[in-house]
A = this chain, B = another copy of it.
Amino acid sequence: MKISIIGVGLIGGSIALKLKGKKLVNFIYGIDNNKDNLKEAIALNIIDEEADLENGIKNSDLVIIAIPVDAARNILPKVLDLISESQTVMDVGSTKSGIVNSAKNHPKRSRFVAFHPMWGTENNGPKSAVAESFSGKAGVICNHEESANDALELAKNIIESLDMHLIYMNAESHDVHTAYISHISHITSYALANTVLEKEKEEETIFQLASSGFSSTVRLAKSHPEMWVPIFKQNKENVLDVLNEHISQLRKFKAALEKENFEYLAELIENANKIRGILDKN
């Protein structure tokens, strides 16, 4: 099988690297507006050849769209226009309602499988790609009933090849859940970084004192706006709901401290400790 990957960055590159080791895939075209990314992806042996959109798609059984979610939403109808009924398209975006809606009334909607691999890092570009990234993580297919059986079958083979466990979910539920378990983490991390940068103008002190706990909570604050602004934009309502809830949770800590109600503070912390049971299962 030949595939085209539109966007050979962190996610597209990691998928390519992993699939190259599998019998399922024997040739990978890279399609990217960023010529440096393409060069790098070839040098790193992530893709076999670069292609333009038309030629890449024409020669591929499967097209994987791995660009920021707003661009993905825009390009999907164009990709569907170009494919035949025997080709399949997947995306990898972190928000799913937008892209599903963008294809909703397309005559070739059933050739599209809305996919979200639950993995990412704060890094970008083909050089950050890691073949084993996806192993053991969740691979979510949204609105599978809108996809043709053979397209779905192909997508399932790909997800299996990525060593992910498959979950079905509707796009709206997906976007609520990811607001809670991914999007808000990024906002708190960004806000935490800005909090520290605001006050600690003497970078040297942060540099000297910063402990592993700090690095862990602000790691996501390294993530680029090119990827994350579109995600927040597309998932605005859910992200705002969660952000409001998060601010109100922070206010409980504030109230407990202001009122010196340390029993309540301990209760808040004990409740938070329950997350251990959930994380440790992972």
Binding site for B on A (CB under 8 A): 118-122, 137-138, 140, 165, 167, 177-178, 180-182, 184-200, 203, 205-225, 228-229, 232-233, 236, 239-240, 242-247, 249-254, 257-258, 260, 262, 265-266, 268-279, 281-282
Contact = CB atoms under 8 A, between A and B. Distances in A.
Contacts of A209: 118, 138, 140, 167, 177-178, 181-182
Contact of A219 (B181, B192, B207, B216): B216
B120 A210 contact: no
Given A177-B205, A195-B242, A232-B265, 7 more contacts: A137-B211, A180-B195, A185-B218, A191-B250, A194-B252, A199-B245, A216-B216
B275 A196 contact: yes
A117 to B, nearest CB: 9
Nearest to A242: B195
Copy number in the complex reads 2
A195 B281 CA distance: 19
Contacts of A249: 191-192, 194-195, 198
Contacts of A188: 188, 191-192, 217, 250
Given A184-B195, A265-B232, A250 B240 contact: no
A122 B203 CA distance: 26
A269 B211 contact: no
A186 B275 CA distance: 13
Contacts of A186: 213
B217 A185 contact: yes
B167 A218 contact: no
Nearest to A221: B272
Contacts of A196: 180-181, 184, 275
A81 B210 CA distance: 35
A167 B202 CA distance: 15
Nearest to A253: B187
13 contacts: A165-B208, A182-B209, A187-B250, A191-B246, A193-B271, A199-B242, A199-B245, A222-B273, A223-B273, A224-B269, A229-B262, A229-B265, A239-B257
A182 B211 contact: yes
